[in-house]
Amino acid sequence: SMATAGITAVVTLTYYPHLHLPITSQTLLDYFERAINFETWRGKQELIDVYVGVALNPVNIPPDYEKVLEVIPKYVTKERVVAIGEIGLEPGSQTCPDLGRQKEILRAQLKIAKEYGMPVVFHTPHSDKETWVEQYLELITEEKVEPSKVVIDHADASVAKNVFDFGCNVGISVQPWRGLGPKDAAKILKDCDLNSVLINSDCNSTLPSDPLSVPKTALEMKRIGFTEGDIRQVVFRNPMRIFNLEQYEEINN
């Protein structure tokens, strides 16, 4: 269905739905390997190029998380790995409820991202987004990460302007679980800097999701007057730039 809808490439971020089961560092490393080696192959069977972001997501932090931090530098040098993410803070985390520890892990991953010149994608908690985004922007400043390499995902109207003004990219998650549909997303984009915004499905196996959210939003954008160039900017050119995949656009042109 994704290929039929015109999707030719995706960036998938490693999020392990532990479902109340214990996890270890090896659980996540096995998952990284599956994403990089199997999911990329599976995408090719449907003529979709799959790229991967790896990270210690705040909702799946194992007790021996240091072992994952140690090997993330190895993974970010792999051909199909284009980002570190999702990273961030999550007050509802069952695997690491200690927000102080979460912040240490987040800061460590920002240091890796800066050292290797990798883009980063931040998870934003479901509520009180202004508070969390303010903390993220402070950390980005402290760690001297280039704002243009940062996506603040799951953003909404309450934080979009601050994110744009800081120089970061806004990620809008079009997902049934979040109560944001394609029509709503298209309307939000009317007030966005189209050069610094992405839309995504945030599709996963544990929450109501729609893998066709992006093409559906593109259609709704067209319905309300966005040009083909506007749409291509949001759904294709921006992710190509942010994730350093400009060569992919040249090939597909």
Burial class (CB in 10 A: 0-12, 13-18, 19+), 36: buried
Does pTM top 0.75 for this prediction? yes
| DSSP annotation of 18 | -
**CA 144 to CA 20: how far, in whole Å?**
36
Tokens linked to 32: 């990284």
Cβ neighbours for 88, distance < 8 A, ≥ 6 positions apart = 57, 58, 106, 122, 123, 124, 125, 132, 136
**CA 204 to CA 186: how far, in whole Å?**
22
Question: pLDDT by residue for the chain (253 residues), tens digit each?
Answer: 999 999 999 999 998 767 778 899 999 999 999 999 999 999 999 999 999 999 999 999 999 999 999 999 999 999 999 999 999 999 999 999 999 999 999 999 999 999 999 999 999 999 999 999 999 999 999 999 999 999 999 999 899 999 999 999 999 999 988 889 999 999 999 999 999 999 999 998 778 899 999 999 999 999 999 999 999 999 999 999 999 997 665 555 5
pLDDT exceeding 70 applies to what percent of the chain? 96
Domain made up of 149-244: CATH architecture: Alpha-Beta Barrel (3.20)
Of 150, 152, 233, 148, nearest in space to 189 by CA: 233
Beta bridge partners of residue 200, listed in sequence order? 173
Domain ranges of the chain: 1-123, 149-244
Q: Tell me yes or no: is domain 1-123 CATH 3.90.1150.10.
A: no
Each residue's pLDDT tens digit, 223-238: 999 999 999 999 999 9
**CA 23 to CA 140: how far, in whole Å?**
29
Of 133, 73, 79, nearest in space to 108 by CA: 73
- Across the beta sheet with 120-123, the strand order is 9-13, 49-54, 81-88, 120-123, 150-152, 169-173, 197-200
Judge whether 1-123 and 149-244 match in fold: yes
How many beta carbons lie within 10 A of that of residue 164, not counting itself? 18
E strand or H helix at 102: helix 99-116
